[in-house]
Amino acid sequence: MSVLLFHPSVANFIQQVARSLDEAGALERFITTVRDDPQSLRQRLACRVGRLVGRDLAAQFHRRKITEIPLAKVEMHPWGELLRLASGTVDRSGRLTDFVWDHTERGFDRLVARRVTRALGAVYGYEYSSLATFRRAKEMGVRVVYDVPAPESRFVHALLQAEMDKFPELRTAYHRYTAAREDTRTARRRAEWASADLILVNSHFTKNSYARAGLDCTKVRVAALGAPPPIARDAALSSGTTTEPLTLLWAGTFSIRKGAHYLIDAWRTGNFGRHARLRIFGAIGLPERVLRPLPDGVEIHGSIPRTELLEHYRGADALIFPTLCDGFGLVATEAWSRGVPVITTDRAGAADLLQPKKNGLLICAGDSAAIAGAIDWCLGHRAELRAMRAAALATAAGWQWSNYRQLHASYLRDAGILRVR
């Protein structure tokens, strides 16, 4: 059976799905928006325009490099995504970018729907960008696979609203704008869910959020996302020291949803800058009035290419990821692949792979005292923290992308979407 895969992004976890289908001989094609193509006149012109307004679009394109499947199976429709990138160069509040995102997602979906034919065995789409395609597939008797990387949207919305009620200084015009559109967007996602024959999620946390919302989870299957190839054991175990100041690393957007405000509060209250440093890599999503003045020992480095970030992991004693809500959290598997223990919460999907006091620490979400307690433990147990590096590396080695693809293909075979070999 041939499967039409589509998503506006070419993120690695999507490419791994494409590779899983291709390895099974079932990938009809992968429809997306933008992929890295340095020889393309269109891309070169976009990069020149970006430079004129101080935007490094070359780095944005490089993040969209496709490495897992033959390029002959990739179909691009870039204009909507290029418009979204362009809006981000002038948009300060985020509202314009959100407006463009919403309209281009729907437009992409309508475009893909026109590619559906009865000759297909299945269509494979992701949340919010799939409703028209799913409806067209159902009309034609084509099977529908729905991949849902994020927890249930009302659950996420309620969680963020509670945070802003508790901390009004976190509320922004952007949050008010998106809150006004939440009901319409949730209805779209639920219609997609109802259309699916098979639903794939990346963690039990994600699945449970939909079960609590009353959605049918009998057709849901869980497949934890894979880890990058682990570095050599000697290199992992020789990194870090017990004599230098404790170094904690943050990777990804420093935002409310990720629990950044609780980490800043814990760091200030505990005055941890005396004995430790916190290195933040990623875009800053907290309002300045919450972040400033920056506590001692906190370093903001901004977003950097993933290859550079992987090198920075090695110099850390632990990754700190106090998320309030994350379907998975690939930063955790990245850290483990470098032999770095992970401090995260019971609301991170990656906690499915965490073994407390073996490859990291598990703390309650939304609790400054819990974060402070974890940092205190690390300061007082440097040798034990360092000893976790071997188990961290083993965690990554034990669940690679190849393992994910095998499990993924088995779910599709069980559902009759892939042929049984």
What pLDDT is recorded for position 49?
A: 64
For residues 45 and 56, give the distance between their C-alpha atoms in angstroms, rounded to a whole number: 13
What pLDDT is recorded for position 310?
A: 93
What pLDDT is recorded for position 240?
A: 64
Q: 94 pLDDT band (50/70/90 cuts)? A: confident
Q: 55 pLDDT band (50/70/90 cuts)? A: low
Q: Which of 344, 315, 317, 340 is nearest to 329 (CA)?
A: 344
What pLDDT is recorded for position 242?
A: 67
What pLDDT is recorded for position 236?
A: 86
For residues 211 and 417, give the distance between their C-alpha atoms in angstroms, rounded to a whole number: 24
Mean pLDDT of 342-369: 97
Kindly tell me the burial class for residue 420, based on how many C-beta atoms sit within 10 Å of its own C-beta (0-12, 13-18, 19 or more).
exposed
DSSP-based three-state secondary structure for 347 = coil
Q: Does pLDDT of 52 surpass 80? A: no
For residues 219 and 199, give the distance between their C-alpha atoms in angstroms, rounded to a whole number: 6
What pLDDT is recorded for position 225?
A: 97
Name the β-bridge partners of 324: none
Range in 153-167, 193-207, 401-415 the model is least confident about: 153-167
Sign for the pseudo-dihedral over CA of 215, 187, 172, 92: positive
Q: Does pLDDT of 139 surpass 70? A: yes
Greater pLDDT, 35 or 119: 119
Range in 123-137, 158-172, 347-361 the model is least confident about: 158-172
In the numeric block, which tokens belong to residue 235?
């290199």
Q: Which of 262, 198, 247 is nearest to 386 (CA)?
A: 247
Q: 305 pLDDT band (50/70/90 cuts)? A: confident
Q: What is the DSSP string of 322-334?
A: --S-BS--HHHHH
Whole-model pTM: value is 0.92
Q: Which of 343, 349, 331, 348 is nearest to 396 (CA)?
A: 331
In the numeric block, which tokens belong to residue 181?
């559109």
What pLDDT is recorded for position 64?
A: 83
pLDDT digits (tens, 9 = 90+) for 24-51: 999 999 999 988 776 666 666 766 766 7
Element (H, E) at 107: helix 95-113
Residue given tokens 């696979």 in the structure block: 145
Compute the mean pLDDT over every residue in the chain, rounded to the nearest whole number.
92
Kindly tell me the burial class for residue 321, based on how many C-beta atoms sit within 10 Å of its own C-beta (0-12, 13-18, 19 or more).
buried
Structural domains of the chain ordered from first start: 3-226+401-414 (3.40.50), 233-398 (3.40.50.2000)
Range in 120-134, 173-187, 189-203, 239-253 the model is least confident about: 239-253
CA angle 301, 307, 313 (to 5 degrees): 60
Range in 87-96, 129-138, 202-211 the model is least confident about: 87-96
Q: 22 pLDDT band (50/70/90 cuts)? A: very high
DSSP-based three-state secondary structure for 278 = strand
Complete edge-to-edge strand list for the sheet that includes strand 27-32: 74-76, 27-32, 3-6, 122-126, 143-148, 198-201, 220-222
Contact 324, 256 (CB under 8 A): yes
Q: 18 pLDDT band (50/70/90 cuts)? A: very high
Q: What are phi and psi of 227, to 5 degrees?
A: -100, 155
Mean pLDDT of 363-388: 97
Mean pLDDT of 377-400: 96
Range in 67-71, 87-91, 263-267, 298-302 the model is least confident about: 87-91
Q: Does pLDDT of 58 surpass 70? A: no
In the numeric block, which tokens belong to residue 144?
């529908």
What pLDDT is recorded for position 237?
A: 86
Q: 172 pLDDT band (50/70/90 cuts)? A: confident
